[in-house]
């Protein structure tokens, strides 16, 4: 027993010693990328893209399942985006609430018999609706088949070279699409995908599909997610984007090449990690065919989404995310440490496996080892204790740094009180919030082994003029 405990302690020490340089690499890459982006943005006139005839049209796909509380505001937000040519396609995936009825009432929709080509498989279409008042809006009512199935249905109707996926519970900045498409227009190589930072809308004042005033939510669970989103997007995804090894573009808001998406068969309908799966398969296809490409992240605060406001809903969401991660990594395991796939295969994929997938298991085992060592009188001043304490301090420093980076660059939370609240919750982010998420993620992995497949339902509170 004691021998096994000592061996586990040493293995965990080695694990953290290997992982820490990855974090350092991401932070350095993210800071370099952020500084470069801000410098580029100063000399970039977005109005030039807005007025240019060369700016490609974009089809915005909005999969909706029981979204009657927020779908109308989201659609209004999309229709008022500053972009020269776009179409909004809402795909109702067999909702059991009044999602379609709300859209018909608010936008004066009427049924139509629009011709379309079923290039990608999807569940049967029950009805197609258009708005005589707003020709850019199309609503597809189909039988339930899951989010991937809904997105495939939308791709069958999309007519633009790029498509944008947007969750039905998000609100975008007016120039969000223009900003996320700017790297596509500036790049000399093919841009497969471009994603923007996602922010927490809870607590914000939302009117007519726009965030009028940014405010922190009142509930602690929501503020913790604000800190988590800042850390994950500003340091995580921006760092991987700088290395051209980004494996995830958020399904809440991302732009993708329709031609490449159709080339790889659209979204897999038997996965719950559809957004990551699409990006990873795009990486694979372009690497296997030897074509240069980019997958980019835009660090602007362009997308606002509702996050869970209770622990049960948050646990269900994170279990689903972890199931999706495990599913995508297993299906694409040939990429692991394969030089054929460049940095994505040699660096990003092993990181996802070793840190994002297995990290929760290792951390929980490490905590149990510390408790067992303390009970048996073996803890002392061993390297495991020091390393885990260092890990906590490092994680806290990263969370605090993310808050300060936001304050120094984008400054969305302007009051001193909100900044102090963010800093306090940044100190709580690594304990006990992180341990709660660790348990949820391990639970999600166990769920995956039992093979359930469901889209999942998040309780919506809806947007209001007072706060979201």
Regarding pTM above 0.85, the answer is yes
Give the model's pLDDT for residue 272.
Answer: 84
In the predicted model, what is the mean pLDDT of the chain? Answer: 88
The mean pLDDT value for 147-161 works out to 96
CB 158 within 8 A of CB 59: yes
CB 299 within 8 A of CB 34: yes
Distance CA 6, CA 178 (A): 55
The mean pLDDT value for 50-77 works out to 89
Among 250-264, 325-339, 348-362, 411-425, where is mean pLDDT lowest? 411-425
Give the model's pLDDT for residue 466.
Answer: 54
Higher pLDDT, 382 or 212: 212
Burial class from Cβ neighbours inside 10 Å (0-12, 13-18, 19+) for residue 46 reads middle
Q: Which of 356, 360, 329 is nearest to 232 (CA)?
A: 356
The mean pLDDT value for 453-459 works out to 52
List, in sequence order, the alpha helices (H) in 53-172.
71-79, 99-107, 147-157
Contacts 24+ apart (CB under 8 A), 345-349: 345/287, 347/243, 347/245, 348/240, 348/243, 348/245, 348/246, 348/247, 349/247
Sheet holding 170-172, edge to edge: 110-112, 125-130, 137-142, 86-93, 58-64, 162-166, 253-257, 190-200, 293-305, 170-172
Higher pLDDT, 462 or 366: 366
For residues 340-378, b (16+ Cβ closer than 10 Å) or e, as one string? ebbebbbbbbebbbebbbebbebbeebeebbebbeeeeb
Percent of the chain with pLDDT over 70: 92
Largest CA-CA distance found in the chain, in angstroms, rounded: 76
| Other Cβ atoms within 10 Å of 76 Cβ, number | 18
Give the model's pLDDT for residue 151.
Answer: 97
Distance CA 436, CA 441 (A): 9
Distance CA 5, CA 12 (A): 11
* pLDDT of 15 higher than 70: yes
Phi and psi, residue 121, nearest 5°? -70, 140
Contacts 24+ apart (CB under 8 A), 405-409: 405/31, 405/34, 405/230, 405/234, 406/230, 406/234, 409/34, 409/38
H/E stretch holding 162: strand 162-166
Distance CA 456, CA 147 (A): 10
Distance CA 10, CA 201 (A): 43
Residues in the chain: 468
Among 2-16, 73-87, 189-203, where is mean pLDDT lowest? 2-16
- Residue 33: pLDDT band (50, 70, 90) is confident
Distance CA 138, CA 121 (A): 19
Give the model's pLDDT for residue 458.
Answer: 54
The mean pLDDT value for 281-306 works out to 91
Higher pLDDT, 410 or 110: 110
The mean pLDDT value for 266-285 works out to 95
The mean pLDDT value for 385-405 works out to 79
Distance CA 220, CA 309 (A): 9
Angstrom CA distances, 358 to 58, 275, 322, 404, stand at 37, 20, 10, 29
The mean pLDDT value for 457-466 works out to 56
H and E: helices and strands count for the chain? 17, 12
Residue ranges and CATH numbers for the domains of the chain are 22-56+161-350 (3.90.550)
Give the model's pLDDT for residue 361.
Answer: 95
Distance CA 242, CA 274 (A): 23
CB 326 within 8 A of CB 272: no
- Residue 410: pLDDT band (50, 70, 90) is confident
* pLDDT of 452 higher than 80: no
The mean pLDDT value for 63-81 works out to 89
The DSSP letter of residue 292 is -
Distance CA 166, CA 164 (A): 6
pLDDT, one tens digit per residue, over 413-447 is 888 999 999 999 998 888 889 999 999 999 999 99
CB 297 within 8 A of CB 238: yes
Helix, strand and coil content of the chain, in percent to the nearest 5, comes to: 55, 15, 30
The mean pLDDT value for 117-135 works out to 95
Angstrom CA distances, 189 to 52, 72, 163, 186, 196, stand at 20, 37, 18, 9, 19
Residue spans of beta strands (DSSP E) within 285-395: 293-305
Percent of the chain with pLDDT over 90: 57
Give the model's pLDDT for residue 455.
Answer: 45
- Residue 464: pLDDT band (50, 70, 90) is low
Which of 95-109, 301-315, 370-384 has the largest mean confidence?
A: 95-109
- Residue 194: pLDDT band (50, 70, 90) is very high
The mean pLDDT value for 67-94 works out to 92
Give the model's pLDDT for residue 106.
Answer: 95
Distance CA 426, CA 35 (A): 23
| Other Cβ atoms within 10 Å of 85 Cβ, number | 11
* pLDDT of 409 higher than 90: no
Query: Is the backbone peptide bond immediately before 432 cis, with ω within 30 degrees of 0?
Result: yes
């Amino acid at each position: 027993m004691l021998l096994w405990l000592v061996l586990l302690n040493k293995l965990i020490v080695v694990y953290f010693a290997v992982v820490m340089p990855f974090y350092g690499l991401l932070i350095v890459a993210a800071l370099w990328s952020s500084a470069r982006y801000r410098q580029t943005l100063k000399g970039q006139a977005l109005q030039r893209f807005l007025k240019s005839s060369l700016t490609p049209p974009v089809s915005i796909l909005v999969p909706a399942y029981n979204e009657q509380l927020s779908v109308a505001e989201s659609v209004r937000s999309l229709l008022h985006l500053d972009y020269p040519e776009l179409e909004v396609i809402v795909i109702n995936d067999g909702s059991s609430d009044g999602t379609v009825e709300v859209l018909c009432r608010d936008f004066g929709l009427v049924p139509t018999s629009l011709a379309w080509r079923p290039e990608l498989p999807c569940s049967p279409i029950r009805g197609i609706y258009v708005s005589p008042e707003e020709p850019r809006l199309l609503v597809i009512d189909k039988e339930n088949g899951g989010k991937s199935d809904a997105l495939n249905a939308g791709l069958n109707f999309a007519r633009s070279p790029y498509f944008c996926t947007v969750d039905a519970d998000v609100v975008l900045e007016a120039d969000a699409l223009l900003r996320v498409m700017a790297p596509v227009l500036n790049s000399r190589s093919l841009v497969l995908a471009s994603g923007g930072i996602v922010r927490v809308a809870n607590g914000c004042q939302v009117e007519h599909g726009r965030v009028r005033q940014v405010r922190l939510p009142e509930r602690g669970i929501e503020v913790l997610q604000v800190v988590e989103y800042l850390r994950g997007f500003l340091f995580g995804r921006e760092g991987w984007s700088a290395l051209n090894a980004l494996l995830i573009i958020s399904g809440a808001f991302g732009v993708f090449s329709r031609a490449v998406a159709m080339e790889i068969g659209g979204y897999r309908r038997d996965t719950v990690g559809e957004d990551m799966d699409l990006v990873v398969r795009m990486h694979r296809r372009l690497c296997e065919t030897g074509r240069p490409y980019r997958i980019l992240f835009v660090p602007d605060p362009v997308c606002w989404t509702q996050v869970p406001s209770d622990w049960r809903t948050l646990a269900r969401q994170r279990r689903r995310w972890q199931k999706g991660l495990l599913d995508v990594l297993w299906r694409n395991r040939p990429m692991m440490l394969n030089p054929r796939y460049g940095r994505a295969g040699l660096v990003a994929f092993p990181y996802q496996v070793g840190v994002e997938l297995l990290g929760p298991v290792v951390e929980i085992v490490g905590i149990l080892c510390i408790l067992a060592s303390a009970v048996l009188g073996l803890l002392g001043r061993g390297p495991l204790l020091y390393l885990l304490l260092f890990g906590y301090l490092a994680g806290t420093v990263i969370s605090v740094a993310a808050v300060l980076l936001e304050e120094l660059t984008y400054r969305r939370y302007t009051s001193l009180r909100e900044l102090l609240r963010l800093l306090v919750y940044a100190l709580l982010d690594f304990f006990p919030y992180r341990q709660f998420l660790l348990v949820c993620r391990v639970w999600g992995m166990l769920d995956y082994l039992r093979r359930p497949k469901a889209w999942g339902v998040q309780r919506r509170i809806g947007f209001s003029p007072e706060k979201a």
